[in-house]
Amino acid sequence: MIRFIDGYCWWPLRFVLLISLLCIGCRGGFLGKGNPEFEDVQQKLLEGVFTPQDAPPEYILLDGYPVEYQEAIGAGIDVARKFLGNHGPVRVYILGKSRGEVGTTDSRAAFVEQYCGPRNKSTIEGFDEDCLAGPGQRLIDAAIRGDQEAYLSIVIFTDPPYAELVFINSHEWGEQDMPLRGIHEYTHVFQHQYPSAPGWLTEGGAVFFEAWLGDQNQWVDFRGAMRRSMKNALTAVADEKGLSDMEYLLDLPQEMEAYHRNIAYDMGAWAVAFIIANSSEKSISEFRDRFYPSMRDEGWKEAVSRFTGSRDLGHFYSRFDEFLQQSSHQQMELLDAIQP
């Protein structure tokens, strides 16, 4: 979902792990649907943005914010990079309150300068983003307010496009949770080298990988995390909502905002587990190596159907709905079938 405010576009959902598919702004011209440049951006997002990289992510830490928080987030990002590969380019911005203050006047200005410098190298003629007063300042304002945010934004009007992973007030999440946020957001970088997928597959994949990879590093219990996700997913089932209600690629339907966490994240994580468990190899590595690339040739609907041996997407949804009606014991048994 993209919201336009005062000429800028931003992703409004907070306190959840999310993707901001487009965090760019224009001054002196409204960048909206119907604009050729906006249509070009949409097409790039649909086709896949990022590429394999040799260089690791670049970290930008607000001076005065403890380096231990960068190390914790970076540990999660590195675990994800080791399994998913090194993609990007990626710039990681980490800021927040320390001893009640968000840096100093000078350190805040230096941080915003580092944030805005690459953004100002737009390849679009006439594109004029007041980053210092707009997106850059909003990071500082969010940190001062005490907001807790973790998200990916794609800066797509540069050559090459690059990923921003933003973490605000990460100390509020706790020592064990910070690396999980790193895994989750970096998974989105991996995903966006491939064509866009629906919300449940994108967020569900990130939740699945943060739980599975996090478990291997003693940051979270995989089965416990999946059990909590199932509990949340079933609240949406009780309201007769399911994956088919969360097929957005860019815009989250307003009527589904209340179910975003339950379906896109929690039900989506189980849908990814279900996809893997119903594939020929039942392998997470095969899901990484075969499923995602198949979306380039077949599109996500055919990729889901073929990978799981379903007749079509409707058949997959029907099979998954039946799975959600099973006992908790049967549902947890599915996780036992999954191989690395």
Write the pLDDT tens digit of every residue in 155-190. Answer: 988 889 999 999 999 999 999 999 999 999 999 999
pLDDT at res. 62: 98
Q: How far is CA 327 from CA 32, 264, 320, 334, in A?
A: 47, 22, 13, 11
Q: List pLDDT tens digits, range 124-136.
A: 655 556 899 999 9
pLDDT at res. 44: 77
Other Cβ atoms closer than 10 A to 2: 20
Rounded Cα gap, residues 255 and 234, in angstroms? 18
pLDDT at res. 142: 98
Q: How far is CA 182 from CA 81, 176, 195, 333, in A?
A: 10, 11, 22, 28
Give the single-character DSSP code of 278.
Answer: T
pLDDT at res. 19: 33
Please, which contacts does 68-75 make with residues 24 or more away whose CB atoms are closer than 8 Å? 69/94, 69/96, 69/167, 69/170, 69/171, 69/178, 70/94, 72/170, 72/175, 72/178, 72/179, 72/182, 73/167, 73/170, 73/178, 73/179, 73/181, 73/182, 74/182, 75/179, 75/182, 75/217
For residue 78, give every residue at least 6 positions away whose Cβ sits within 8 Å of its Cβ, in sequence order, or none: none
Pairing outcome for strands 149-155 and 17-20:
parallel
Tokens of 93: 């911005």
Rounded Cα gap, residues 189 and 139, in angstroms? 20
Helices within the chain (DSSP H only): 36-47, 67-84, 105-119, 135-145, 177-191, 199-216, 222-238, 268-277, 284-286, 292-308, 313-324, 328-337
Give the single-character DSSP code of 170.
Answer: G
pLDDT at res. 126: 54
pLDDT at res. 30: 37
Alpha-carbon Rg of the chain, whole angstroms? 20
The b-or-e profile of 104-118 (16+ CB within 10 A means b, else e) is eeebbeebbebbbeb
pLDDT at res. 34: 56
219 CB-contact burial (10 Å; exposed 0-12 / middle 13-18 / buried 19+): buried
Residues lower than pLDDT 70 in the chain: 1-38, 123-129
